[in-house]
Amino acid sequence: MSDVNGAAAGESPGGLTSTTVFRLGVLGTLAGDRFGREVEGLGLKPKHVGLLAALDLAAAASQQELAARMGVAPSLVVSLADTLEGLGALQRIRDPQDRRRQVLTLTPQGRELLERCTGLARTLDEEFTAGLTQDQRTALAEALRVLAHRAGLP
């Protein structure tokens, strides 16, 4: 089941269900679940893809730094990286300067995997926004871009 805020059916205008936070929460969960089902076939979960994307945007100096960037616990990065390393999507290389650190780098397969995921996301974008006009789509994308930036995201 996939409804973070517990949705209902048929609201009086101005109620909780018409607020932006409520709709963002519900639609966000829907989008995440949908994306999760899509990448499941690649052996991935959304967080794995998030790690790939984070690495693609900028190499990580260490797993801890990456964890901070992703907003998750360092121990979670360990298991995510374990999976991705097992898939050949990334390499762990000990930093010779500081052998405590593991530098993570995307392999060509990792980059290709990420591109596949990006393609899936683009297809889902079209599915999700099929009910919008082109102007609405553009406006939504721009608004989300601003909100993401304000939230400290790429």
Partner DNA sequence: TATTGTTATACTCTATAACTATA
Partner DNA sequence: TATAGTTATAGAGTATAACAATA
Residues 72-131 within binding reach of its own copies (CB under 8 A): 72-73, 80, 106, 111, 114-115, 117-118, 121-122, 124-125, 128-131
Considering only the C-alpha atoms of the chain, give the largest distance between any 2 of them, rounded to a whole number of Å. 63
Among 8, 57, 78, 153, which residue interacts with DNA (rule: CB under 7 A)? Answer: 78
Q: Which does 92 bind (CB under 5 to 8 A by kind): its own copies, DNA, none?
A: DNA
User: CA-to-CA distance for 52 and 10, rounded, in angstroms?
Assistant: 40
Q: Which stretch binds DNA (CB under 7 A): 17-25, 51-59, 76-84, 133-141?
A: 76-84
Angle (CA) 65-153-127 rounded to 5° is 125
The rounded distance, in Å, linking the Cα atoms of 69 and 91 is 19
**Contact by Cβ (8 Å): 46, 35:** yes
Return residues touching DNA (CB under 7 A).
1, 4, 45, 47, 62-65, 71-76, 78-79, 81-82, 92, 98-102
